Homo-oligomer: A and B are copies of this chain.
């Protein structure tokens, strides 16, 4: 692991929520981060599908960490805001969130995210949600 991978990996493991949800950091590359989440009933909304808040949680992290790959040393990122469109019910055995940097500014980085539902081996992953997010770059306190 290089520096930024190890830093994002440490941050990911420090998140209580990612453990609670059962999410895994899949890959980190410059400007792009992938997070995977197996479905379980503990993550459901009222119809038994994955809750919009769960889908949002993993794609928010994917976008935030994608932004972090572009942040200067000694800086951290915080989500200023995001918008998510839900395209179809979150039905799958697992979900893959992909966050990508669209533009990295000095103060604000804009990312887009996609979430795919993965079912059985026969069916292709389905795009179920798209995010557009604004991530603020802040000086690390330490």
Partner-B contacts on A (CB < 8 A): 11-12, 14-17, 19-20, 40-47, 51-54, 56-58, 60-61, 78-89, 102-103, 105, 107-108, 110, 112, 127, 130, 132, 134, 136
User: In the complex, A82→B83 CA distance in Å?
Assistant: 6
Number of copies: 4
Chain B residues within 8 Å of A108, by CB = 80, 136
When the two chains form the complex, which single residue of B46, B88, B105 contacts A15, counting CB atoms closer than 8 Å? Answer: B46
| CB–CB A78/B85 < 8 A | no
Contact call B87/A102, Cβ cutoff below 8 A: yes
Contact A52 B43, beta carbon cutoff 8 Å: no
| CB pairs A–B below 8 angstroms (20 shown) | A11-B46, A14-B44, A14-B46, A15-B44, A17-B51, A19-B42, A20-B20, A51-B57, A52-B79, A53-B61, A56-B56, A56-B60, A57-B57, A79-B86, A81-B84, A83-B83, A85-B102, A87-B105, A87-B110, A132-B132
